[in-house]
Amino acid sequence: MKTATWKVGLVICALVMLAGCAISLPQQHLPPSYATAPDLDSEIGRYVQDHQPEDSAGLSGFTLVQTGTDALAARLAMIDRAEHSLDLQYYIYRGDVTGGLIAERLLDAADRGVRVRLLLDDIGSGLRDFDVATLNHHPRIQVKLFNPVTLRGKVLKYFSKIGEFGRINYRMHNKLMVVDSQMFITGGRNIGDEYFSLSAMDFQDIDILGMGRITRDVARSFDDYWNANESVPVESMFRRTGKKAGARLRAQLEALRERHAGSDYLQAVAESPFAQALHDDRINWHWGTAEWLTDPPTKADPGHVTNQMPILARKLAMHARASEKELLLMSAYFIPGSSGQVFLLDMVEHGVEVGVLTNSLATTDVLAVHSGYASYRKPLLKGGVRIWELRVQAAQQERTSAFLGESLASLHAKAFVFDRQKVFVGSVNLDPRSIVLNTEAGVLVHQPALAIELANLFNHWTSNDFAFELQLSDSDEIRWTTAEKTWTSEPHASRFRRAAAWMLGWLPIEGQL
């Protein structure tokens, strides 16, 4: 009994101490690290030069990456072609099949002399501290955790999350990979099977691959996050591992790869349209001017003047406001809030056609988000905003995850089209968490052909095979419609799911969603 009392007292003391230091992380005063200089004679450097149009001074090239197999093929190809540096920044990194494949390629790259910097959000990352430390043990790999909890270990982390909630409620939601400071990929995908069509939940997502002038701004943004006080080296947080741990990790990754070698899925990745286009040099690059839009890392610091400042959201709102004919929004989580609702309705009043694609109750992976979104549907529909919700089967016959058997679709994309003249692809959802609490990033491209391509994808995903269109009946009740059928309540959602979403809607948590 005394032992139990002593343990409880220790936990209470720890929480008290954590509460006292929860405002900001202590200053680190570490030497900065910067992106490597672009090498025009590297394989990536030659590729960029060979594919730049003659009149491309100041322009950047882009191509959309839509399917999960294409997205994994693109990342593996980038890692394999790196000669100098790989910079990765992710909210989630899972220790599953695709996470293991990427980790093994990163180790291979480091073995051949490539400097690897891996920045992970501490709360979002699914990797064990031991595995993170083992990766960091490689002399060419550096790992940092963004805004980490102070106490480590499975049990202690929960207490740390409680005591430090005022600080760790702010997360790094960015998703980015930069290779040799000359090419990058960004968008909605984290690292994990569900993002690459290899799980029961198949996220419908969009990435964009970029090169050219904009890459220097992207690399500078990564440096800002890497050198920020919120990014803490793992060696200062937990014990360093030895060579034996590194050997075990390599053996585990090799065994994982061998178990899946020759599988239908990996064959689909190797033969994906992107992989084939890369092999045959047929990737269609769209060249135009671009802007890298990002929140500063200090947005996650409760003691900083930029904390909760929606810098990225304000820039996007400015571009949306400039739209004259059409605004298309794809957002996995859509909670516009009262100000966002007024904004969208005002756009419609000024003659802009506004279309929104988001998740239905049956496809969302976060019930609380759907409960926060549901109350905005009627006012938006009444005001002329068109809304579509993803169907649970979402034309499953087109998805590679069918190799695993039947899977459920869920929208995870965060992409916007402005007047079919410019596009934004990035990590930001249209919800309070993305706008106020998380750091976010993405690229805005002024390129009509790319905008039309993304608008066509929006039209494809809002077709009858993929989505319901929401409409109001004569009595102002919501109806979910396709060409063949109309539903009077949330389609394909169980009674339990409907009840849970309804109850969550009563909680005062919208600002956290």
Collect all residues with Cβ–Cβ distance below 8 Å to 28 and sequence separation of at least 6: 229, 232, 236
Tokens of residue 437, six digits:
């609490």
Residues 6+ apart with CB under 8 A from 365: 201, 359, 410
Q: Is 400 exposed, middle or buried (0-12, 13-18, 19+ CB in 10 A)?
A: buried
Q: Can you name the residues that pair with 120 across neighbouring β-strands?
A: 90, 145
Burial of 436 (0-12, 13-18, 19+ CB in 10 A): middle
Q: What does the alpha-carbon distance between residue 260 and residue 97 come to, in Å, rounded to a whole number?
A: 8
Up-side HSE of residue 259: CA atoms within 13 Å toward CB? Answer: 11
Residue with tokens 């990797």: 127
Which among 168, 164, 184, 165 has a CA at the least distance from the CA of 176? 184
Assess whether 217 carries a catalytic annotation: no
Q: Catalytic: 412?
A: yes
Q: List the catalytic residue out of 84, 137, 144, 175.
A: 175
Q: Judge whether 144 counts as a catalytic residue.
A: no
User: What are the residues whose beta carbons fall under 8 Å from the beta carbon of 100, sequence distance 6 or more?
Assistant: 252, 253, 256, 257
Distance separating alpha carbons of residues 371 and 352, to the nearest angstrom: 27
* CA–CA separation, 107 and 113 (whole Å): 10
**Contact (Cβ atoms closer than 8 angstroms) between residue 44 and residue 180:** yes
Owner of token pair 């994808």: 457
Among 370, 412, 422, 431, which one carries the catalytic annotation?
Answer: 412
User: 435: how many CB neighbours lie within 10 A of its CB?
Assistant: 25
Which one from 84, 137, 144, 173 is the annotated catalytic residue? 173
Helix (H) / strand (E) element for 345: namely: helix 337-349
For residue 52, give the nearest of 219, 182, 178 by alpha carbon.
Answer: 182
Location of structure tokens 């998805």: 399
Catalytic residue among 70, 129, 180, 207: 180
**Both tokens of residue 96?**
């599953």
What is the torsion angle, in degrees rounded to the nearest 10, for the CA atoms of residue 35, residue 39, residue 44 and residue 47? 140
Measured between alpha carbons, how far is 439 from 433 in angstroms, rounded to an integer?
A: 9
DSSP 435: I
Q: Is 365 a catalytic residue?
A: no
Among residues 449, 442, 454, 451, the alpha carbon closest in space to that of 214 is found at 442
414 catalytically annotated: yes
HSE of 434, CA atoms in CB hemisphere, 13 A: 25
Structure token pair of residue 402: 């069918």
Q: Which amino acid is at 459?
A: N
Amino acid at 194: E
From the list 408, 312, 318, 300, the residue with the least C-alpha distance to 363 is: 408
Nearest 5°: the CA angle 385, 387, 388 is 160
Question: Catalytic site residue 243?
Answer: no
Residues designated as active site: 173, 175, 180, 412, 414, 419
